Amino acid sequence: MSFGFNILKDRQIDFDTNDLSLARFLSLYEPSFRLCISCGGCTATCIANHHSGLSLRKIFILINRGITADIKHELDNCMLCGKCVIACPRGVNTRGLILKISELTKNSEI
């Protein structure tokens, strides 16, 4: 029966049901991953961000929240220039993490 409307999808992040396995893996593989405070220094300096919308800040946050369905191709545009490593005030090994996440994406582990 068609009512002319439908039940809306809930925007609220249900944290307890999200899959945090990638975040946990990265925390153990590269402990500096835990130091990210989402300041955005990496994203601001990223060349790829200007033309392709690659936002490392956003990717890290999504991983930490367990919302990993969207990030499969996000890192494709990274040119591995290393500017993000220079900019990070907390010493996060951003380039190393990018390589690891890309590797896991290619192997469809996300």
Partner 1 sequence: MLEEGKKRIWAEYQKAVPDNNYYFVRSCIRQTFFPGSEQAFIRIIRNELGKDIYETPYHTTCTGIGYHSDIIPFETTMTVVARQFALMTEAGYSNYIPSCITSFGLYTEVLETWHHFPEIEAHIRENLWKATKREFKIPDNLSHPSDIFYHFRKNIAEKAKYSLVDIESGQPLNVVEHIGCHYSKMFPGKGIGGAEYPCVLIGMIEAWGGNAIDYPERRHCCGFGFRQYIVQSNRGYSVSCSRKKFESMKPYQPDLILTNCPGCPMFLDRWQYVISEIEGKTYGKNNQGIPVFTYEELAGLILGYDPWELGLQLHQIDCEPLLKKMGIKYNPSEKYLGYNREYIGKPEITKNLFHCC
Partner 2 sequence: MNKKVVVVGGGIAGIEASAFLSYMGFEVVLVEKENTLGGHVLNWEKLFPTMRYGSEVLDFLLQGISPKVNVYTCCEVNSISKKEHQFFVELSNGENFISDAVLVTTGYDLFDARIKEEYGYGIYENVFTSADLEMIFTAKKTLLTKQNKVPLKIGFVHCVGSRDEKVGNVYCSKVCCVTAVKQSIEIKQIYPDSEIYCFYMDLRMYGMHFEHLYKEAQEKYGVHFIRGRLSECFENVDKSILVKVEDTLTGRPLKMNVDILVLMVGFVPRKSTKKIADLIGLENGRNGFFKTKDQHTLTNVSNIPGVFFAGCCTSPKTITNTITDARAAASTIASYLLHHEIDKRTINLAP
Q: Binds 39, which of partner 2, partner 1, none (CB < 5 to 8 A, cut-off by type)?
A: none
Residue 39, token pair as written in the block:
């300041």
Tokens 């409307």, residue located: 5
Please, which residues have CB within 8 angstroms of residue 102's CB and are 6 or more apart in sequence?
A: 75, 78
Residues numbered 53 to 92 that lie near partner 2 (CB under 8 A) are: 58, 61-62, 64-65, 67, 90
Tokens of 58: 């956003």
Q: Which of 11, 50, 51, 73 binds partner 2 (CB under 8 A)?
A: 11
Binding site for partner 2 (CB under 8 A): 11-16, 27, 31-32, 34-35, 37-38, 58, 61-62, 64-65, 67, 90
